[in-house]
Chains A and B, each alone.
Chain A
Amino acid sequence: MLKLLNPIMRLVEIPFLLVQKRLGIGMTAWLFLAPNLALFSLFTFLPIILNFSYATTGGEAILLRDRPDVGFQNFGNLLECENVLDPSSCRNDLFWRAVWNTVWFVVFQVGIMVIAALATAIVLNRKIRARGLFRGVFFFPVLLSPVVVALIWKWILQRNGLLNAGLESLGFETINWLIERHWAFFWSTFISIWAHMGFYTLILLAGLQAIPQDVYEAALMDRASPWRCFRRITLPLLSPTLLVVLVLALIKGVQTFDEIYAFTGGGPGSATTLIMQFIYETGFGVQPRLLGVAAAAAIMLAMVLIFLTALQFWINRKKVDG
Chain B
Amino acid sequence: MANIELRNVVKRFGALEVIKGVDLRIEHGEFCVFVGPSGCGKSTLLRMISGLEDITGGEVLIDGKPVNNVSAAERGLSMVFQSYALYPHMSVRQNLSFGLENVRTPKDVIETKVRDVATMLQIDQLLERRPKELSGGQRQRVAIGRAVVREPLGFLFDEPLSNLDAELRVEMRGEISSLHRRLGNSMIYVTHDQVEAMTMADKIAVLRAGLVEQYGRPLELYNRPANLFVAGFIGSPKMNFLEGRISADAQTEIVLDSGERLNVPAGKFSGGPDQRVTIGIRPTDLDLSEDGIRLDVGGVEQLGGESHIFGTTADGRKLTLHAQGQTPVAIGEEIRISVPSDRMHLFDTQSGKTLLSA
Contacts and interface: CB of A to CB of B under 8 A. Distances in A.
Interface in A1-35: 20-21, 25
Interface in B42-101: 71
Nearest to B69: A24
Contacts, number: 3
Contacts of B71: 20-21, 25
Interface in A36-64: none
A25 B53 CA distance: 11
B55 to A, nearest CB: 12
A interface, over-half SS: helix
Contacts of A21: 71
B interface, over-half SS: loop
A25 B71 CA distance: 9
A20 B51 CA distance: 13
Interface residues of A, number: 3
Interface in B6-24: none
Nearest to A25: B71
Nearest to B52: A25
A21 B71 CA distance: 8
Nearest to B54: A24
Nearest to B74: A21
Contacts of A25: 71
Nearest to B73: A20
A25 B72 CA distance: 10
B74 to A, nearest CB: 9
A20 B71 CA distance: 9
A21 B72 CA distance: 11
A21 B70 CA distance: 9
A197 B71 CA distance: 54
Interface in B173-232: none
B101 to A, nearest CB: 11
Nearest to A20: B71
A301 to B, nearest CB: 43
B90 to A, nearest CB: 13
A308 to B, nearest CB: 38
A196 to B, nearest CB: 38
A91 B71 CA distance: 68
A36 to B, nearest CB: 24
B28 to A, nearest CB: 28
B118 to A, nearest CB: 25
Contacts of A20: 71
Nearest to B72: A25
A206 to B, nearest CB: 28
3 contacts: A20-B71, A21-B71, A25-B71
Which 3 residue pairs spanning A and B have beta carbons closest together? A20-B71, A25-B71, A21-B71
Interface of A: 20-21, 25
